[in-house]
Amino acid sequence: MSKKKLLAALSVAALLSGLTACSSTRSDSSSSSGAGASGAAGGLIGIAMPTRSLERWNNDGAHLDDLLKKAGYTTSVQFADNKVEQQITQIENMINQNPKVIVVASIDGTALSPVLKKAADAKIKIIAYDRLINGTPNVDYYATFDNYQVGKLQGEYIVKTLGLDQGKGPFNLEPFAGSPDDNNAKFFFAGAWDVLNPYVKSGKLVVPSKKAPATNDDWKSIGIQGWSSQTAQSEMDNRLNSFYAGKKVNVVLSPNDSLALGIEQSLESKGYKPGAEWPIVTGQDADLANTKNIIAGKQAMTVWKDTRSLGDQVAKMVDQIVKGEKVEVNDEKTYNNGNKVVPSYLLPPIVVTKDVVKEKLVDSGFYTADKLGL
Ligand code: BGC
């Protein structure tokens, strides 16, 4: 099939699924309270999510959808299977349905300029959700967790747990970074590396694979495309096979849970056993499988970003935009997208370790005890 035909077919498929998403509007939405009940809002809101393959985006999409419907809006929620072209087509189809706002969690934050120009021409406002969209003036707001802080928390956890400030070491470290096309990945790495690199330089952290970026800007050299668990697993297999004869790895900097999962599988397949010899593995998102691994002693920590609060904030911003009110932001300097500084709302991420799983994740209602096998 030619590229043109393929795109046309994708458009139709996306349009159909968009219509399904709209028509699946829950029947209780119009009777619930919120902006709709007050009569001031309503209308269509587009939600473009990157993929269903990662738990967090399913939760993000469902929660935001639910909030907006309760506030009286109709929604079109789309997931793009981590394919950039598919996401562009989905956004194009949303534009054709004339929504008031489109919320975009981008796959490639540099690929959306043309489609967002069309949105701007149609007077549709854009909120970048979790991931910044780069190189365009046509992104109005950004809502996310403090991405630099996510990495910093991972780095600080490693320093504290290993006792590096007490002069302990040297320890063997293997660092990983996120997807090279995701603007967040740079911030996660910078936050962690600003904390860890001084110990690499002083020799307290040794990187046997030599895959230690010299500076923050070199992070893409250890980036895992598409945040793939499988790629992280084979990369870890390679490092253990090639550089660890007669050695043990003590700590793995993993930027998120999907990478951590692959890394943990690799460790297991190479004979590491949970307990004293299992390395510290970091993560992010508090995905279910990883939270279970934390309980089982296969992952030391995760940086939890309560996606419900991100959804709450974004739903509020949507409502403020539609009503013509002042949109709440708390950072107007950090996120320069290469074209402008995008007014942002940053939420605080939280460290979760085994001893606080119940307090943070169960007591807050993020997971039931049952789901975690507690
Ligand atoms: C998100 C992370 C997520 C990663 C992979 C990042 O942009 O901020 O929470 O783990 O994408 O989907």
SS (H, E, C) 262-276: HHHHHHHHCCCCCCC
CA–CA dist 106, 256 (Å, integer) = 17
Tell me which residue has its CA closest to atom 5 in ligand 1: 227
- CA triple 353-181-223, angle to 5 deg: 55
Q: Is residue 182 within 6 Å of ligand 1 at its C-beta?
A: yes
Predicted TM-score (pTM) above 0.85:
yes
pLDDT at 60 over 70: yes
Tell me which residue has its CA closest to atom 6 in ligand 1: 184
**Which ligand 1 atom sits nearest the alpha carbon of residue 255?**
10
Rounded distance from Cα 256 to ligand 1 centre (Å): 7
Mean pLDDT, to the nearest integer, of 281-298?
Answer: 98
Average pLDDT value over all residues in the chain: 91
Mean pLDDT, to the nearest integer, of 76-104?
Answer: 98
> Which residue among 256, 346, 352 is best mutated to probe the pocket of ligand 1, counting the most ligand atoms within 8 A of its Cβ?
256
Instruction: Give pLDDT, residue 173.
Output: 98
CA–CA dist 277, 359 (Å, integer) = 27
CA–CA dist 309, 330 (Å, integer) = 15
Residues 6+ apart with CB under 8 A from 273: none
Rounded distance from Cα 283 to ligand 1 centre (Å): 11
pLDDT digits (tens, 9 = 90+) for 181-235: 999 999 999 999 999 999 999 999 999 999 999 999 999 999 999 999 999 999 9
Q: Is residue 149 within 6 Å of ligand 1 at its C-beta?
A: no
Mean pLDDT, to the nearest integer, of 33-51?
Answer: 70
Residue whose pair of structure tokens reads 């290469």 in the numeric block: 338
pLDDT at 19 over 60: no
Q: Which helix (H) or strand (E) holds 206?
A: strand 205-206
Q: Show the domains of the chain with their CATH numbers.
A: 3-139+306-347 (3.40.50.2300), 147-304 (3.40.50.2300)
Residues 6+ apart with CB under 8 A from 162: 168, 169, 171, 250, 251, 280
pLDDT at 259 over 80: yes
**Which ligand 1 atom sits nearest the alpha carbon of residue 51?**
12
Q: Is residue 317 within 6 Å of ligand 1 at its C-beta?
A: no
Radius of gyration of the chain (CA): 22
Rounded distance from Cα 353 to ligand 1 centre (Å): 19
**Which ligand 1 atom sits nearest the alpha carbon of residue 131?**
7
Mean pLDDT, to the nearest integer, of 55-61?
Answer: 93
